[in-house]
Amino acid sequence: MRSDFGEVITAMVTPFDKNGKVDYNKVEELTSHLIDNGSDAIIVTGTTGESPTLIYDEELEILNSAKRASHNRKPIIMGTGSNSTETAVMMSKRAEKEGADGILSVVPYYNKPSQKGMIAHFSAVAEAVKIPVILYNIPSRTGVNMSVETASYLTEKYKNIVAIKQSFGDLDVITDYKLNLPSDVAIYSGDDSLTLPMLSVGAHGVISVASHLYGKEIKSMIRNFKTGDITSARNMHYRLYPIMKKLFMAPNPVPVKAVLNKKGLIEEYVRKPLVTLDEEEKKELFKVVSSIKFDK
């Protein structure tokens, strides 16, 4: 592969304190916890990290904190996407300068660019850096879908575009990617519950939220699938499916932060316009969490 970030990449939350400040100590602690519990790589300052509410200096310090905690054990990828091409290029350059092992770049949101506009945007990003680039296609948030033809053009032209995060439940798209993109471009599911179905048509792994809680189990599911133990992979999918869905009962990352708080790993605070779960919502969420048990 062009650059193998592994099979389980965690899109990490950003810990805040009660005053709404980034808790950099918790960033380091959570990074280490994820590395020790199944994550092959970590993405900071993505949308799960509440990037729309972070300022640039905070994003860079989060990257540096995660890098310190990693000690080069696992790659740290930085979300540098923006609906402004100039901003996306600037942040991608900064990420590279600060030592990011790669960047995640989302389709520009709200602007609803044409396919030509997407090509112009991602070309500018790819040409600005030498580190690996992961494209991120999530039509539900951006309002526009990156076509297979656009993805094919970009991955053929730019060898540092190494992967695509696909948050769109159309399995035909994954098949089209496998048929039309270079074979060494990795396809990642952007939705935990679609990981196993996407693996069946050629995806490499998942960029995950549930791996905050079940990284080793998700890794086991993927490994079992790839080594031919389909029954075990499917059974793990069934066991994890309820929490994979329940973690999106409210806007991400609100539910996963509530669970991480209950486990004593971080505080549950989020930045407005997100708000924490109420007590009834927590009761509903924790009931699902408590129903999923694994032997230690």
In angstroms, the CA 211 to CA 256 distance is: 10
In angstroms, the CA 236 to CA 240 distance is: 6
Catalytic position from the list 74, 165, 219, 246: 165
Catalytic position from the list 24, 109, 136, 214: 136
The answer to whether the beta carbons of residues 27 and 17 sit under 8 Å apart is no
Q: Is the dihedral of CA 264, 220, 49, 2 positive or negative?
A: positive
Q: Which residues lie across from 10 on neighbouring strands?
A: 42, 208
Q: Is 18 an active-site residue?
A: no
Q: Give me the helices (H) in 99-229, please.
A: 115-128, 139-142, 148-157, 171-180, 195-199, 211-226
Cα end-to-end distance, the chain, whole Å: 34
Residue with tokens 């905690």: 69
Q: Is 165 an active-site residue?
A: yes
Active site residues: 136, 165
